Structure 1
Amino acid sequence: MQIHKTNAMRILDTKHISYQIHSYDPEDGRIHGTAVAEKINRPEERVYKTLAAHNKQNIYIFVIPVSGELDLKKAAKAAGEKKIEMLPVKELQKWTGYIRGGCSPIGMKKLYPTYVDQQAAAIDSIIVSAGKIGVQVELEPQDLLDTVQAKFADLIQL
């Protein structure tokens, strides 16, 4: 499968950050995170999904393990807000430039405050969407943080 560079890959190239590309066939419609981990033959603990949440004024990005569920109270606390809620899927492309299943924390329309679940600090590489359904990038967690000016935080429900 021919892989064309995505915006996320171009940004990583510009910053001289090394990454590995993983691709999978999305034709069966199974594009949720755990299916992606299975398709690219990587442990779920390394594959992360990108979620967008908001309050009335701001949008926040949360990058969490695919098998985890975002704890909105923890997410609000990390963002310094009293309350946040998930951004409706129909508004995702308007605000981020990405569609569901292909939302990368890298290369959004704006650089939103971004938080990566603290579990990523303990692993040597993290896999996130490359900004297109069927394509993922694997890079060091700190490189992801540096690229999108993110912070580690406790984000998932236990």
Structure 2
Amino acid sequence: MAKRSDASAGTPATVALVAAGIPFTAHAYDHDPRAAAYGLEAAEKLGLPPEIVFKTLVADVDGGLAVGIVPVAMQLDLKALASAVGGKRAEMADPQVAQRRTGYVVGGISPIGQKTALPIVLDESAILCETILVSGGRRGLDLELAPDDLLAVTGGSYAAIARSR
């Protein structure tokens, strides 16, 4: 996988990956602002199976924020995320708070290069994938990289945090 650093991919996420020397591939697509599910839209427009395209979700865990990364066709198990970060109770974070703390807009929140470093938990299903795709920091841009590299650059960990819809 080659590093890609064209101007269209210049986001805090790509800058962080280049600085860390982590190989990635940027995948841009034409985002439809009417799309109901950004992650499923990415998988469809990129022609990829939804099992390897992951969405980044920010949750409030016992008054602090944490990030859960799960396959786009799955749901985040909030109780499992809370447990994975040593908390008891979790709920989805207010979108405005998530945007302010991460520096990204909803639908384009990347787990990489966030304004405020938050605890990151990647669903363990990613272990089975050679590479996965996560948001690149804006709607219409996903980054493909090895799951272990994602955790290395974010200081994250694996846990079973996804459940079927």
Q: TM-score range by the shorter chain?
A: over 0.9
Structure 1 equivalent of residue 99 of structure 2: 93
Structure 1 residue 56: Cα displacement? 4.5
Structure 1 residue 3 corresponds to structure 2 residue 8: yes
User: Counterpart amino acid of 2:22?
Assistant: I
Structure 1 residue 57: Cα displacement? 3.3
**1:144 alignment partner, one of 138, 145, 150:** 150
Structure 1 residue 134: Cα displacement? 0.8
Structure 1 equivalent of residue 119 of structure 2: 113
User: CA distance change for structure 1 residues 28 and 96 in 2, over 3 Å: closer, same or farther?
Assistant: closer
User: CA distance change for structure 1 residues 72 and 27 in 2, over 3 Å: closer, same or farther?
Assistant: closer
**2:74 alignment partner, one of 68, 83, 93:** 68
1:22-72: CA deviation from partner (whole Å, max 9, x where unpaired): 011014532611111010111101100000011353110111000010111
Structure 1 residue 37 corresponds to structure 2 residue 37: no
1: distance between equivalents of 2:112 and 2:33?
A: 26
SS of 2:112's partner is: coil
Structure 1 equivalent of residue 135 of structure 2: 129
Task: Name the TM-score, length of structure 1 as normaliser.
Answer: 0.94
User: Counterpart amino acid of 1:148?
Assistant: T
1: distance between equivalents of 2:59 and 2:32?
A: 28
Q: CA RMSD in A?
A: 1.6
SS of 2:162's partner is: coil
1: distance between equivalents of 2:115 and 2:121?
A: 17
Structure 1 residue 4: Cα displacement? 4.0
Unaligned 5+ runs, structure 1: none
Unaligned 5+ runs, structure 2: 1-5
1: distance between equivalents of 2:47 and 2:28?
A: 10
Identical columns (%): 35
**Contact 2:61–2:82 at 8 Å: present in 1 too?**
no
User: Counterpart amino acid of 1:53?
Assistant: A
Structure 1 residue 20: Cα displacement? 0.6
Task: Name the TM-score, length of structure 2 as normaliser.
Answer: 0.90
Q: How many residues align?
A: 158
2: distance between equivalents of 1:100 and 1:28?
A: 12
